[in-house]
Amino acid sequence: MKNLLLKTIAITLILLLSSTAVFAGAGVPEDAKGQMYEEAVSALMEKGIITGDTDGSFHPDSDLTRAQACIIIVKSMGAPSAEVVGTATQPAAESGFPDMTGYGWAEGYISYAVKHGVTKGYPDGTFKPGNKVTMNEFITMALRAADYSDETLGGTWPLNYTGKAADLQLYKLIPAPLPELATKWMAAQFTHSSLELIEKANPPAEDQALLPETPKGVPDTANMEFDKGRFNLEMTAYNGKELADDVVIYTYGQEKNYKSTMTFTKKVADYRLETVNKYKYTETPAFYRVEDNKIVEMVLPKDVGFTGRAYGVINGTYASKNAEGDTVTGLNTIVAGNEVKWLGEKGLTGIPAKTGANSYLSGIVYELYLVDGEIRSIFKSTESHRGKVFDELSGTAFVGIDSYKNNVVKLANGNLFEIKDNATVYTMDDADRTEYKVGRQANIKSGNEIRIYDMTDDDNEVSGDIVVVLLK
């Protein structure tokens, strides 16, 4: 395991030597202090929606680009970091626009904004991320994030959106008439005025029961196509064909029996429901049905799935049948921000306990070694053969959070650790400690407790890739 003391010293030196690190940006930038928009800037910085520039200033009169505008609005929506910047083991979704070279830092946000109807590309298929965003465009994006749309507003753009903003009294401090381009301070001020509406329209995901193991009915395989191919890295396409966001995955039988003339039983118990999240880079035969040029339903063999190492938390165990009909133990997990049910191999050992000091509900992140979607081994960071990669930075128990600014968390014991922008956050309510949920970096705040895990393949890298936060 990496030496925790050396890590703490290293991150402390980095912070002391950097003029743009946490101490320079802990408060409102100097060029925003005393300004009429200081309150808006301060509130948005506190929530991590906006940041100062690399020189520690805010540059309030600078114009925004379309890419920057997307980031502000999407962060206001509370988008899960796994979707917009990916995780240590899962890349962010690509936008599909051809003109994103040099804008990889914004692509996940742009993809999220387009997917949720906040903005869209140009008729020629481009997005033009570097174009300056107009005030009309920014107002439109903010109101669309607040669940208004062309259909609900009617009228003609941009008057339908600018008029609605006036009705909602969102123009506090914004000059009249509206300027053509959105400056950074105007964007901050308008976002601050709209934030309550945006947050109301985008509440945290409601608790959802895990996908049931047995489907309600048998899939109609007679109307499906047969193919052999591979899921892509992002699990958004199979054999080059796009998957619907709500694609339904059934599993049935063994891979060795799959062929185009295959017959299926009509017994519901022979099928199992799965999520697409367990098929990263999986090569498999499949039956599938297409609607509107997207795969909406698939039938896959039970003995295929991701091969490699997955990192996440465990929410429980269950008993099931594998492809050979053996009774095995499975794990309910959250991996890379997604709920996934993995089957264990026959006779799997090393399954952690549900109760006790080192139970799977005590904030521990596990490494799962998988072959064809089946768990072969379970490791804690101290047990992993990849100990130089998978390491717990903050100790072996929850530690209180003193503060969190500019991606650096100060713990109650005085230690400082950097948290990556794309860190996966899991939370647990201290009141019951019965399950983990996908969280947000906003959960990393004073009063809560945290465990921090590093998964970067570099001995000199000291930042957290996965954090578990105990909500007080």
Boundary residue ending a domain (282, 300, 318): 300
**Is residue 131, in this structure, part of any structural domain at all?**
no
CA distance 364 to 385: 17
Let me know whether 430 and 458 are in one domain. yes
Clarify whether residues 401 and 371 are in a common domain: no
Structurally, the chain folds into a number of domains equal to: 3
Q: CA-to-CA distance for 318 and 94, rounded, in angstroms?
A: 34
In a domain, 411, yes or no: yes
Report pLDDT for 434: 93
Q: Which two tokens stand for residue 277?
A: 């999240």
* Residue whose entry in the numeric block shows the structure tokens 């903003």: 165
Residue after which a domain boundary falls, among 247, 266, 300: 300
Indicate whether 423 and 450 sit together in one domain: yes
User: Does 460 lie in the same domain as 412?
Assistant: yes
Do 362 and 399 fall within a single domain? no
Same domain, 279 and 323: no
In a domain, 193, yes or no: no
Per-residue pLDDT of the chain (472 residues; tens, 9 = 90+): 344 444 443 444 333 333 333 333 347 899 999 999 999 999 998 888 998 787 889 999 999 999 999 999 999 998 887 788 877 677 777 888 999 999 988 999 999 999 999 999 999 999 999 999 999 999 999 999 999 999 999 999 999 999 999 999 999 999 999 999 999 999 999 999 999 999 999 987 655 566 788 899 999 999 999 999 999 988 999 999 999 989 999 999 999 999 999 999 999 999 999 999 999 999 999 999 999 999 999 999 999 999 999 999 999 999 999 999 999 999 999 998 889 999 999 999 999 999 888 899 999 999 999 999 999 999 988 776 555 678 899 999 999 999 988 789 999 999 999 998 889 999 999 999 999 999 888 899 999 999 999 987 655 567 899 999 999 9
Tell me the C-alpha distance between 337 and 312, whole Å. 8
Residue 99 inside a domain? The answer is: no
Residue after which a domain boundary falls, among 300, 318, 343: 300
- Could you tell me which residues come within 8 angstroms of residue 77 by beta carbon, excluding any fewer than 6 positions away? 112, 116, 118, 145, 198, 201, 202
Domain range for 435: 392-471
Q: What is the pLDDT of residue 169?
A: 97
- Report yes or no: 393 and 462 within 8 Å, Cβ to Cβ: yes
State the pLDDT at residue 212. Answer: 82
pLDDT the model gives residue 335: 93
Burial (CB < 10 A; 0-12, 13-18, 19+), residue 394, is: buried
For residue 83, the model assigns a pLDDT of 81
Taking each helix axis from N to C end, the angle separating 38-46 and 184-201, rounded to the nearest 10 degrees, works out to 50
In a domain, 186, yes or no: no
Q: How far apart are the C-alpha atoms of 138 and 86, rounded to whole Å?
A: 25
Position 460 scores a pLDDT of 59
pLDDT of residue 208: 54
Furthest C-alpha separation in the chain = 74
Residues composing the chain: 472
Instruction: Centre a 10 Å sphere on the Cβ of residue 292 and count the other Cβ atoms it contains.
Output: 7
